[in-house]
Amino acid sequence: MPRTARLSRDDWAAAALAALTEGGASAVAVEPVAARLKASKSSFYWLFENRAALLDAALELWEREQTEQVATRLADIPDPVGRMRTLFRLALSTGGADLALRLTGGETDPTVLKVAGRVTRRRLEVLQASFRELGMTEERSRHRATAVYATYLGTAALARIGAAPSDTGAYVNDLLAAYLP
């Protein structure tokens, strides 16, 4: 089956994810995304039940991409310290943290919060395991993992308003110095 030219569910999901990144959940609207794809609404309603299904698809795509790219990429780094260094690099360089932040802290839609919660918990588990590897107690590991991830999100927030440090390397080193035993 040559699926050229015609639009697929995934095309719509990808465009919706782009809209989500740029303008949050409210930007995942049928007509604007259709315009982005130069398609019409009937095309959309042929492939999807309704607007909520589009948002679901975008979130699912994000969760999958994120899980494959970030979580495994972190889990594959053997050194716990290196893992955190990478995490902060990601927070400060790419816009990846930006979307995580928006979905975690800036939306009210329960669907969004559910997905954000799942992703967040998985990330926290990875971090917590890192601290345990470094010999911390269970409780302290949990606290540190929370603190590190909160810093990750918060730094993304500060970057949005231009209040994040410009000397990234030194900042990351200082964070690591504070969090590591």
Contact footprint for a copy of itself (CB under 8 A) = 23-24, 26, 101-102, 104-108, 113, 116-117, 120-121, 124, 139-140, 142-144, 146-147, 149-158, 160-165, 167, 170-171, 174-175, 178-179
Contact letters for DNA, residues 8-47 (x by CB under 7 A): ---------------------xxxx------xxxxx-xxx
Q: Is 40 left (phi over 0), alpha (psi -120 to 50) or beta?
A: beta
Which of 40/111 has CB closer to a copy of itself? 111
Q: What is the smallest separation between the CB atom of 100 and a copy of itself, expressed in angstroms?
A: 9
DSSP 8-state class, residue 106: S
Distant-in-sequence, close-in-space partners of 83: CB < 8 Å, separation ≥ 6 = 74, 75, 77, 126, 127, 130
Residues near DNA (CB under 7 A) are 1-3, 5-7, 29-32, 39-43, 45-47, 50-52
